[in-house]
Amino acid sequence: MHEPLFQPLDLGAIRAPNRILMAPLTRGRSGQDGVPNEMVATYYRQRAGAGLIISEATGISREGLGWPSAPGIWTDEQVAGWKNVTKAVHDAGGRIMLQMWHMGRLVHPDFLGGDAPVSASATKAPDHAHTYEGRKDYEPARALTVEEIARVVGDYRQAAVNAREAGFDGVQLHGANGYLVDQFLRDSTNKRTDEYGGSAENRTRFLREVLTALVDVWGADRVAVRLSPNGETQGCDDSDPAATFGAATRVIEEFGLAFLELREPGPDGTFGATEVPKQSPMIREIFSGPLVLNSDYTPEEAAADVASGKCDAVAFGRPYISNPDLDRRIAAGADLAENVNVPQSWYLPGAEGYVDYPTLEEQEAA
């Protein structure tokens, strides 16, 4: 039944032995310095059976990171911490790609010494931010100047260099979920009248410049992108998703990247996504490389979509929290373990609900 998921797949230069990918999952275990610790290394090592691990979203700079105890990749200490993680994954026979994150207007001033966050335009996100002092309303962002945009692109480039030093197999640009790249792409958050705003093509300029920097460091065959063409996400929306994400996909196709991942949740998905027409069929026609889909898949649905050609692989998120050996469980046709202490254990510090889920073998032995 699940045989389509167990065919090897070339994701650019990365040879995935199966089509069960681990989606990026923010877990908040790296401490206030953003340095991945030994527990983080254990967590990823346990999940090395994935065709490819896409790491949790990782801040490219102090300016871009606004989530408590999420990891970064801009300091020597953070790079050293990630080296331990990638070594643990590689020693277990796995592959791991770094997801590069700039949160833009979703960074609360508490993380910035009181300074305002930055975005494509001067807008304010709805709802609240998670800070070390609890939930707080988001604050208005200021628009990046053209000169500052060049500096942010440089931050992405340096983070890509750091990711190579840390031993990753490639990088994925986080262009989804209402974060900075998404804020430039969508017209509800991009009100600019210069070369970075206006038409859908202009709004892809920032995406293009960042990808140029990443490809210059890594080569196109080790760079990927994640998009979320799925309606409103954290207050970020677009009046014509087909035009916007069609233009973005054409940019990605020009680069010939390793793969494109799409997050297309239903109405009950995280980040407040709404039920809207899915853009993946249109994107599939434009992008000729491997297409990875994500969100709320069962193993049976994933196998069917891979078999039909709707996608080439599926990235599983929450199932990987409680099933460190998800690929083996699917291969065996075993029941999947349920998440416990949810959602408290998703983000709170400590080993509970993080590295204490047993494998199928350990479960049966017990």
Residue 311's contacts (CB-CB under 8 Å, 6 or more residues apart) are 280, 284, 291, 292, 293, 305
Neighbours of 115 (CB within 10 A): 12
Contact assessment for residue 177 and residue 228, using Cβ atoms and an 8 Å cutoff: yes
Distance CA 327, CA 16 (A): 12
Q: Do the beta carbons of residue 299 and residue 314 sit within 8 Å? A: no
Backbone phi and psi for residue 184, each to the nearest 5 degrees, phi listed first: -75, -35
Residues in Cβ contact with 312 at an 8 Å cutoff, skipping those fewer than 6 apart: 9, 19, 259, 290, 291, 292, 306
Do 192 and 143 touch, CB atoms closer than 8 A?
yes
Helix (H) or strand (E) holding 14, with range, is strand 14-16
Selected catalytic residue, list 156, 179, 297, 320: 179
Known catalytic membership, residue 354: no
* Contact residues for 319 (Cβ-Cβ < 8 A; gap 6+): 326, 336
Cα 297 to chain centroid, rounded: 17
CA–CA separation, 225 and 181 (whole Å)? 10
Please, are residues 181 and 206 in contact by the beta-carbon 8 Å criterion?
A: yes
Do β-strands 9-11 and 14-16 pair in parallel, antiparallel, or remain unpaired? Answer: antiparallel
Rg (CA), the chain: 19
Residue 298: left if φ>0, alpha if ψ -120 to 50, beta else—which one?
A: beta
HSE-CB for 67 with a 13 A CA cutoff: 23
CA-based nearest residue to 99, from 280, 364, 294:
294
The set of catalytic residues is 179
